A and B are shown apart, each in its own frame.
Chain A
């Protein structure tokens, strides 16, 4: 006797995340998966970046912080190591 269940189409629902560990950006204290104070849209428009030290911030936030510091003295707000953008995203 036949009994078959064929999936013609599966429409699924997911949510995305930056997967940035800490829930909030250390500078604006807004969630990574939300927007920084200046951003209108989350996600592509409010990217999250990592320093080589492994700390993550909203791109807008870390840029503002770095701009407010002397060119020669750009440090991670968390660990105070010299700030350097991490080239590729961590694939944790």
Chain B
């Protein structure tokens, strides 16, 4: 249905989120399930650990594990990225802190960020799942404890990320 002028930024965001929800329901990404989307600004997605190993002969690090991913949309979505983090216990991964913060450029805007309004939750979920699938080193990032201490109670979007080794 169509719209009319004088819409607040929030309802622009709402319309886009609604559209994404429709897309998700039509074509849910593999291995992901939408657990909750109420309120519409806060989604929780269940992500199955990938059942494949990154290469033949390598161990399947996350097979059988299940993670919760929280997506929190802001008023300026999609011009700004949503806040994306795992609900602890988060997957053990060199780019994922135990408090759920994820070091992945597409999740952030600003100087180093790779966010684009063309990205969708669907694409984010797929990216994260492939990030897990391609991992070979099931370990926390260096300084995990320290980072978690420092960022207690803060959004990952407030962290000044460096994405120099995002090729993992």
Q: Does B3 contact A (CB under 8 A)?
A: yes
- Among B15, B76, B80, B116, the residue within 8 A (CB) of A37 is B15
Chain B residues near A80: list those with CB within 8 A. Answer: 116
In the complex, whether B11 has a CB less than 8 A from a CB of chain A is: yes
Residues facing A in B94-151 (CB within 8 A) are: 116-118, 120
Q: Which of B5, B78, B118 is the one whose CB lies under 8 Å from A38?
A: B5
Asked whether, in the complex, the Cβ of B78 is within 8 Å of the Cβ of A40, the reply is: no
Pair A27/B3 contact, Cβ less than 8 Å: no
Closest B residue by C-beta to A80: B116
B19 at the A/B interface (Cβ < 8 Å)?
yes
Q: Given A37-B15, A38-B12, A78-B116, does the pair A29, B4 have CB atoms closer than 8 Å?
A: no
Q: Chain B 4-46, CB within 8 Å of chain A: the 1/0 string?
A: 1101000110011001100100000000000000000000000
In the assembled complex, A68 has its CB within 8 A of some CB on chain B: yes
B2 touches A35 (CB 8 A): yes
- B168 interface residue (CB < 8 Å to A): no
Within 8 A of A (CB), among B37-81: 76, 78-80
Decide: A64 and B3 in contact? CB cutoff 8 A: no
Interface string of A63-92 (1 = CB under 8 A from B): 011001000000101101000000000000
A37 and B12 form a contact (CB under 8 A): yes
Q: Which of A1-54 contact B (CB under 8 A)?
A: 24, 26-30, 34-35, 37-40, 42
Q: Say yes or no: A28 contacts B2, CB within 8 Å.
A: no
A26 with B5: CB separation less than 8 A: no
Subset of 16 A-B contacts with CB under 8 Å:
A27-B16, A27-B118, A28-B15, A28-B16, A28-B19, A29-B120, A35-B2, A37-B3, A37-B15, A40-B4, A65-B79, A65-B117, A68-B76, A68-B79, A75-B116, A80-B116
User: Which residues from chain A sit less than 8 Å from chain B, CB to CB?
Assistant: 24, 26-30, 34-35, 37-40, 42, 61, 64-65, 68, 75, 77-78, 80
